[in-house]
Structure 1
Amino acid sequence: MATLSPALFPPLRTDAGRYRELEVLERLRDYLPAGFEVFHNIALHTLRGGRDSYGEIDVIVLSPGGCLLLIEVKAGPVILRNGEVFKLYGDGECDVARQGRLQRTAMQNRLHEAGLDVPMLSCLVLPDYALGDSQVASIPRERIIDAPRYADMVSTVRDWMGAIQGTADGAALRRLLLNQFQVTPVLEVLRDQLQGAVRRLSDGLATWVPRIGSPSGVFRIQATAGSGKTQLALQLLETAAAERLNACYVCYNRSLADHVRHLASSKVDVVNFHELCVEHYRRTQGDPDFSPGAFERMTAHYVGASAGFAQSLDLLIIDEAQDFDASWVESLCSRLRPNGRLYVLEDEAQRLYRQDSFDLGDAVTIGCSDNFRSPQVICDLINALGLVRPPIRALNPYRGELPGIRTYLSDEEVLARTEEAVAALLARGFALADIAVVCGRGREKSALLNRACIGPHRTRRFTGEYDASGEPRWSEGELLVESVWRFKGQSAPAVVVTEMDFAELDDAARRRLFVALTRAQMAVELVLSDGAERCLTALLA
């Protein structure tokens, strides 16, 4: 199997020609042997007669011997006129041979400027057109792969390139084809571009789930981390607000509710479940005292009173449902109108609390294992460790780097190793505001969640206290430090996963590690106990 650069993603262009080009790429990738490299959509900018000229080469194949093959793909019908091949477009026609000559000359000039002496071939692929006995004056007939020869395209390419050897620097040639130059990346720009691309790519759930019908009006979306569940929820809430429907979004984590509330329309209700219980208690019983066990008492009061709730909701979204008790779900559903819709968003791999699963009767169940958030290498690591079943599909365009790993034997060492991990991310160019320290212990047992500083950096952390209105109190600092439980549902460009301590990768440890790793958009640093490091090393051996 050949390597393909860049990776294939759903096409922005949806015409038949673009899908045919993708098919050509997939054939070359899947059936050329290892050692071949396939590049596509190579942009060219040259100067001709003092004027800027822009173009694009559909496909370039690089053989193990260092030979290049330029492939022009023209899907659909073409026209033969006076021995020339023309492709018709909506705004005119293209002389295929002339286009090929310009591209070849431009590529030769680029190679010459880069000091690369590379043997180069070119061909035309017409996957939907049979030339028959027609004569083409401007392109050698043997270098045209038409419909009858299309099935043998891969073997033909191998025959052409097999015996040709080049002497150019392979790494420099690859950089040229990828438009990769030896410069230091500006992480701030890369971060913004990546976040924008990921948002667009992960719109899938938000696009097609609302189009699915359910006789019961109940939808169960079982989707992995980074698949776009939050975008789906926001799309449903936006549509409900536009249609003047009464809608409510309920999740488990207060921090996630605050995030969604910031993005959603003010015309819909966004709340976490315990916040909802507090509001109900305040309305019916007066101000709570928030003493130990207060949330449990207020939750029991809410569930007990739910049978008398008015059925006022047209739309109810329950997010992080894997962490909900069945009685909580039942109490929320009592607020739905008879024809109301219920969307339950969950991920079994992120079940961090010991709640039993619950049944939703005639729900339409939708599954998704596509991860758009995490870098490809992090997804590869998750799959190699078997953290989730089925394996997640890595669809983030960013390859990323393997996490740095640091081990500790004591609380003093975990602090020192975490400081080093933060320093390593800062040295790579991440800003302090881009970094989240995510701890695998809760606040009471953590050596980090109660610290005012990590290294020279003041920490921003939940203090464990609430004000008179029930709002959580936060410390003032620049470096976010959170537990894996509270940071679930959120993400950051760079994440230090720390205080991960386990002797075996049981279900609880597997879920903690999965949630922590999938919080990162670009980079991860791991701080593991000595036992956890040995456990993971044995699994990867």
Structure 2
Amino acid sequence: MAAKLSPCLMSVRHDAGLYRELDVLERLQLSLPDGYEIFHSVNWHTIHHGSDVYGEIDVVVLGPSGNMLLIEVKAGDAILRDGQLYKLYDGHERDITKQSQVQYAAMRNRLSAAKLDSHVDHCLVLPDYNVDDTHIISTPRERIIGAGEYDTLGRRVRELIPTTSCKSDVEAVRRFLANEFKVSPDLRVLGDQLRKTSRQLSDGLATWVPRIEAPSGVIRIQATAGSGKTQLALRLLEDAATEGKRALYVCFNRTLADHIGRIAPARAKVTSFHELCVAHYRRAVGEPDFSATGIFDVVAEVYCRDAGVSALRYDLIVIDEGQDFEPAWVAGVLAQLNDDGRFYFLEDEAQRLYKRDDFDLNGAVTLTCSDNFRCPTMIVNVINALGLANRPIDSRSPFAGELPEFRRYNSERELVHQTAQAVQSLISRGVAVENIAVLTGRGHANSSILKKNQLGDFTVRRFTGQYSVDGEPIHTDGDLLLESIYRFKGQSADGIVLTEFDFETLDDPVRRKLFVGMTRAHLAVELVLSAQADSALERALLG
């Protein structure tokens, strides 16, 4: 019999691109006997000097006695200097032994809070680094397992775990660890599974909102990013198509309309608001002069003027991204609803990127939802710590994830380099390049990133500003998506890189852009910030 591994890694491929930890896990599972249990990617949270501190322990081995060993795995070469061990990450040295000590203290803290008394020890596993008998100040030599002892890993681990029974119930300690670990460290394997699970969890809105009756036929849903608004919209459109009803879906963002149009029932009309206005203008007036200043204001005014007398009527109307609509636009679209029709208004104040006046929808039944099923818990924690939403959002993702990485740049050259490094970091953690979106906070007109045809080692896919004869946006041919936060609203990706953020203070417009950008991520976020923006976020986090 072999040791039990939690969670199971049966679905993980063992090829050269995956983490070295997987080899350590496999070796431990094969070399430790029945009665031992191995937990990997154990996330911890503790309080240090009044502040929240988060981290992750690579491996925890629980012995039959109820005692445990914390294992920090560091692949590749290490640096031994002045009795201290260091590891190089992206050009920066990190104290390996200090990291292990912090994790040890955090585990003791969590056990104490849970009123559990289990003996805890820790060790370093350096599978690619030969450690001689040189004196290491911060870690006893017997607690470092180097390349020379790697073949005896299982035996060394058994020797480091006391065999005397711990004072607490072993099953209680096991349950404690089982509740602390989250997922496999391989994001490549995790991505599809997590997206599917998140969709299933966030189907709640799509399940019960259509059952709600409103005497006025108007239902207003104020729901945060990742709560399932897209699933709800699709469910409403599909139900209308099944029942043979005329349905209209309208949003502000053209790219979101294109996305929904590809997955919605063919019977439903899916459009952005200004596309809707242009189509009406062509029928009522003629071809718009798109070179004229303010032409989109003109076509919107004509549509809102005529909507109430238009012969086009709908049994179902869904407005998405409602926070970006002018009150007059909403009134115009609502005027096309049949007397016995249903009108759903989906919005999220925290995602409002444009200055709009507030308004009421008379007779509307209003629902609120602060549950985010898309983003990992660690990302949601940072969103709440920065106060990016007008009220705290609740993480409902089954994945804890990691804290976002903050990268600082001091010049345009560093900006490009750090953005490419952020992409490479996501890829090294298992996120496929086709599942990464690089989003700029500057917008198309002022962005230098969106003018690139190559970013680091990657060819890029970016919007050219032109459309095909069929109305489809034309992109350059490349692997890595570059886009503005404005155009990527309503969409998502496994890995998100936010770049070209430069601000002195964390004001409301900046908060909203950061919120929109960070809530696009299923797995991980990296931020590339100017020095002053990085300092502003640091001040906000320190409170």
Q: TM-score, normalised by structure 2?
A: 0.67
Q: Which residue of 2 aligns with 1:281?
A: 281
Question: 1:64 aligned to 116, 119, 122, which one?
Answer: 116
Aligned partners of 2:437 and 2:497 also within 8 Å: yes
Q: Which residue of 1 aligns with 2:261?
A: 261
* Letter matched to residue 261 of structure 1: G
Q: Which residue of 1 aligns with 2:508?
A: 507
* Letter matched to residue 200 of structure 2: R
Q: Which residue of 2 aligns with 1:202?
A: 202
User: CA, structure 1 residues 184+282, in 2 after alignment: closer, same or farther (shift >3 Å)?
Assistant: same
Q: Which residue of 1 aligns with 2:372?
A: 371
SS at match of 1:449: helix
Deviation at 1:419, TM superposition (A): 1.0
Q: How far apart, CA to CA, are the structure 2 residues paired with 1:372 and 1:531?
A: 32
Q: How far apart, CA to CA, are the structure 1 residues paired with 2:302 and 2:180?
A: 62
Deviation at 1:379, TM superposition (A): 0.4
- The one-character-per-residue Cα deviations of 1:397-432 (angstroms, maximum 9, x if unpaired) are 100011111111232221111111111112212211
Aligned partners of 1:290 and 1:466 also within 8 Å: no
SS at match of 2:308: helix
Quick check: 1:192 aligned with 2:244? Answer: no
- The one-character-per-residue Cα deviations of 1:216-273 (angstroms, maximum 9, x if unpaired) are 1100000000000011111111111111111111111111112212221112111111
SS at match of 1:345: strand
User: CA, structure 1 residues 177+473, in 2 after alignment: closer, same or farther (shift >3 Å)?
Assistant: closer
Aligned partners of 1:66 and 1:118 also within 8 Å: no
Q: Which residue of 2 aligns with 1:320?
A: 321
Q: How far apart, CA to CA, are the structure 1 residues paired with 2:477 and 2:240?
A: 37
Aligned partners of 2:223 and 2:369 also within 8 Å: yes
User: CA, structure 1 residues 335+178, in 2 after alignment: closer, same or farther (shift >3 Å)?
Assistant: closer
Aligned partners of 1:311 and 1:334 also within 8 Å: no
User: CA, structure 1 residues 283+468, in 2 after alignment: closer, same or farther (shift >3 Å)?
Assistant: farther
Deviation at 1:64, TM superposition (A): 3.0
Q: Which residue of 1 aligns with 2:15?
A: none
- The one-character-per-residue Cα deviations of 1:363-396 (angstroms, maximum 9, x if unpaired) are 0000000000011000000111111132000110
Deviation at 1:177, TM superposition (A): 4.9
Aligned partners of 2:224 and 2:393 also within 8 Å: yes
Aligned partners of 2:184 and 2:190 also within 8 Å: no
Q: Greater relative contact order: 1 or 2 (C-alpha under 8 angstroms, separation 6 or more)? A: 2
SS at match of 1:527: strand
* Letter matched to residue 226 of structure 2: G
SS at match of 2:447: coil
User: CA, structure 1 residues 184+400, in 2 after alignment: closer, same or farther (shift >3 Å)?
Assistant: closer
Q: How far apart, CA to CA, are the structure 1 residues paired with 2:337 and 2:304?
A: 15
SS at match of 2:524: strand
* Letter matched to residue 489 of structure 1: G
SS at match of 2:494: strand
Q: Which residue of 2 aligns with 1:360?
A: 361
- The one-character-per-residue Cα deviations of 1:164-219 (angstroms, maximum 9, x if unpaired) are 599x9x9xx789857979x9744332101101110111111111111111111100
Aligned partners of 1:379 and 1:392 also within 8 Å: yes
Q: Which residue of 1 aligns with 2:462?
A: 461
Q: How far apart, CA to CA, are the structure 2 residues paired with 1:350 and 1:437?
A: 18
Q: How far apart, CA to CA, are the structure 2 residues paired with 1:118 and 1:354?
A: 65
SS at match of 1:400: coil
Q: Which residue of 2 aligns with 1:214?
A: 214
Q: How far apart, CA to CA, are the structure 2 residues paired with 1:337 and 1:363?
A: 16
Residues 270-309 of structure 1 aligned to structure 2 (within 5 Å): 270-291=270-291, 293=293, 294-309=295-310
Aligned partners of 1:491 and 1:520 also within 8 Å: yes
Deviation at 1:291, TM superposition (A): 2.6
Quick check: 1:382 aligned with 2:383? Answer: yes
SS at match of 1:406: strand
Q: How far apart, CA to CA, are the structure 2 residues paired with 1:62 and 1:324?
A: 49
Aligned partners of 2:186 and 2:429 also within 8 Å: no
Aligned partners of 2:373 and 2:395 also within 8 Å: yes
Aligned partners of 2:315 and 2:341 also within 8 Å: yes
Deviation at 1:530, TM superposition (A): 0.9
SS at match of 2:279: helix
Q: Which piece of structure 1 moves more, 393-402 or 280-289? A: 280-289
Q: Which residue of 2 aligns with 1:230?
A: 230
Q: How far apart, CA to CA, are the structure 1 residues paired with 2:175 and 2:310?
A: 65
Deviation at 1:344, TM superposition (A): 0.2
Q: How far apart, CA to CA, are the structure 2 residues paired with 1:240 and 1:301?
A: 28
Quick check: 1:248 aligned with 2:248? Answer: yes
Q: How far apart, CA to CA, are the structure 2 residues paired with 1:395 and 1:240?
A: 29
User: CA, structure 1 residues 406+427, in 2 after alignment: closer, same or farther (shift >3 Å)?
Assistant: same
Aligned partners of 1:119 and 1:164 also within 8 Å: no
Q: How far apart, CA to CA, are the structure 2 residues paired with 1:285 and 1:466?
A: 23
Residues 160-179 of structure 1 aligned to structure 2 (within 5 Å): 163-164=167-168, 177=178
Q: How far apart, CA to CA, are the structure 1 residues paired with 2:362 and 2:256?
A: 28
User: CA, structure 1 residues 361+165, in 2 after alignment: closer, same or farther (shift >3 Å)?
Assistant: closer
Deviation at 1:473, TM superposition (A): 2.7
Residues 69-88 of structure 1 aligned to structure 2 (within 5 Å): none
* Letter matched to residue 321 of structure 2: E
Q: How far apart, CA to CA, are the structure 2 residues paired with 1:179 and 1:366?
A: 33
SS at match of 2:449: coil
- Identity of counterpart residues, as a percentage? 50
Q: How far apart, CA to CA, are the structure 2 residues paired with 1:353 and 1:427?
A: 36
Q: Which residue of 1 aligns with 2:489?
A: 488
Q: How far apart, CA to CA, are the structure 2 residues paired with 1:274 and 1:311?
A: 17
- The one-character-per-residue Cα deviations of 1:65-120 (angstroms, maximum 9, x if unpaired) are 228xxxxxxxxxxxxxxxxxxxxxxxxxxxxxxxxxxxxxxxxxxx99x9567677
Residues 429-448 of structure 1 aligned to structure 2 (within 5 Å): 429-448=430-449
Higher-Rg structure is 1
How many pairs align? 395
SS at match of 1:261: helix
Q: Which piece of structure 1 moves more, 360-369 or 273-282? A: 273-282
User: CA, structure 1 residues 118+491, in 2 after alignment: closer, same or farther (shift >3 Å)?
Assistant: farther
Q: 5+ residue gaps in structure 1?
A: 7-60, 68-110, 121-160
Aligned partners of 1:119 and 1:165 also within 8 Å: no
SS at match of 2:353: coil
* Letter matched to residue 216 of structure 2: S
Aligned partners of 2:349 and 2:390 also within 8 Å: no
Q: Which residue of 2 aligns with 1:104?
A: none
Q: How far apart, CA to CA, are the structure 2 residues paired with 1:341 and 1:164?
A: 59
Deviation at 1:457, TM superposition (A): 1.6
User: CA, structure 1 residues 468+297, in 2 after alignment: closer, same or farther (shift >3 Å)?
Assistant: farther
Q: How far apart, CA to CA, are the structure 2 residues paired with 1:456 and 1:511?
A: 31
Q: 5+ residue gaps in structure 2?
A: 1-5, 8-112, 120-153
Aligned partners of 1:370 and 1:393 also within 8 Å: yes
SS at match of 1:260: helix
* Letter matched to residue 218 of structure 1: V
* Letter matched to residue 243 of structure 2: E
What RMSD, in angstroms, separates the aligned Cα atoms of the two structures?
3.1
User: CA, structure 1 residues 468+260, in 2 after alignment: closer, same or farther (shift >3 Å)?
Assistant: closer
Q: How far apart, CA to CA, are the structure 1 residues paired with 2:454 and 2:447?
A: 14
Q: How far apart, CA to CA, are the structure 1 residues paired with 2:215 and 2:523?
A: 41
